[in-house]
């Protein structure tokens, strides 16, 4: 089996709060978020053997307790299943960073008890497919084939699968000035989470987008939201969620 491989960070302390992890990046993604800072992973394939990636995981084993599969989008590749199985057999915690577009694969991993925590992007209010489509690059990038309605339905199903499966869950929104992440939008996202996630106690993280590293040139000159602005958004989310955190370049991750 081949893996469309993006790279490895042998030791990361920022991809899973409280754990040292080896992070494996996959290439390929069904979305094209204009602010994506991992856009070099989106197009050109780099196919490697499954054993190559297993060896990358094995090399970090003395130094970390967890494996993060990120991207790109890891759940679009069938190889995620044997790789997660390998990581669990080796005694690692397993985390998945996902845009939520592959609920069936998430369900398979949950059913087989191969994931300890899902980190799911909620890019915009899930009750607003048009806005969600804009943030996901629909209509701007030909690579985005799923309709906005299909995207939000898939994300909602992924979250429901994780919620009902009892697996750890973190939901994340990246905010970009004058593009996504106004107080009203954050309020709607947090309200949706409160209404729809019943069995887990999800963390909700508002992430400071850094548009200078993004894919779309028109966003690159925009200033990022500073820490005080991020805290203001977090206080809005706290009206609906207990566990709200922010991630900023200034202070890293902070609870609110």
Q: Name the helix (H) or strand (E) containing 234.
A: helix 227-237
> Domain with 134 in it: what CATH number?
3.20.20.70
Q: Cβ contacts of residue 168 below 8 Å, gap of 6+? A: 116, 117, 118, 200
Task: Count how many residues are written for the chain.
Answer: 256
- Each residue's pLDDT, cut to its tens digit, for the chain (256 residues) gives 999 999 999 999 999 999 999 999 999 999 999 999 888 888 888 999 999 999 999 999 899 999 999 999 999 999 999 999 999 999 999 999 999 999 999 999 999 999 999 999 999 999 999 999 999 999 999 999 999 999 999 999 999 999 999 899 999 999 999 999 999 999 999 999 999 998 767 899 999 999 888 889 889 999 999 999 999 999 999 999 999 999 999 999 999 9
Are 172 and 120 in contact by the 8 Å Cβ rule? The answer is: yes
Q: Vertex 138, ends 161 and 233: CA angle to 5°?
A: 65
Q: Which domain holds residue 45?
A: 2-255
Cis peptide before 158 (omega within 30 of 0): no
Instruction: Please tell me the distance from the alpha carbon of residue 256 to that of residue 253, in angstroms, as a whole number.
Output: 10
- Tokens for 58, please give them: 């094995």
Q: Assign 3-class secondary structure to 74-139.
A: HHHCCCHHHHHHHHHHCCCEEEEEECCCCHHHHHHHHHCCCCCEEEEECCCCCCCHHHHHHHCCCC
Domain count, the chain: 1
Extract long-range pairs of 138-143: CB within 8 Å, 24+ residues apart. 140/32, 140/34, 140/216, 141/32, 143/30, 143/32, 143/42, 143/43
Sheet holding 117-121, edge to edge: 47-49, 2-12, 21-26, 66-70, 93-98, 117-121, 168-175, 203-208, 244-248, 252-255
Q: What is the DSSP letter of 200?
A: S
């Amino acid at each position: 089996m081949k893996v469309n491989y993006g790279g490895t960070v042998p030791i990361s302390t920022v991809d899973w709060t409280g754990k040292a992890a080896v992070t494996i990046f996959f290439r390929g993604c069904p979305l094209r978020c204009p602010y994506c800072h991992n856009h070099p992973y989106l197009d050109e394939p780099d196919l490697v053997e499954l054993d190559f990636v297993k060896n990358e995981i094995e090399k970090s084993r003395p130094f970390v307790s967890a494996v993060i599969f990120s991207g790109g989008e890891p759940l679009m590749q069938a190889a995620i299943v044997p790789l997660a199985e390998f990581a669990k057999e080796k005694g690692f915690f397993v985390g998945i960073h996902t845009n939520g577009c592959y609920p069936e694969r998430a369900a398979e991993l949950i059913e087989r008890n191969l994931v300890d925590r899902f980190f799911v992007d909620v890019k915009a209010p899930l009750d607003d497919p048009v806005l969600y489509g804009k943030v996901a690059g629909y209509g701007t990038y030909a690579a985005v084939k799923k309709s906005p309605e299909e995207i939000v339905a898939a994300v909602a199903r992924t979250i429901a699968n994780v919620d009902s499966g009892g697996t750890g869950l973190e939901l994340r929104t990246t905010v970009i000035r004058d593009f996504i992440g106004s107080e009203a939008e954050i309020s709607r996202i947090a309200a949706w989470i409160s209404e729809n996630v019943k069995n887990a106690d999800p963390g909700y993280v508002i992430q400071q987008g850094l548009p200078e590293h993004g894919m779309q040139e028109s966003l690159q000159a925009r200033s990022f939201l500073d820490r005080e602005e991020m805290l203001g958004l977090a206080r809005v989310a706290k009206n609906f969620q207990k566990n709200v955190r922010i991630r900023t370049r200034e202070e890293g991750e902070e609870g609110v």
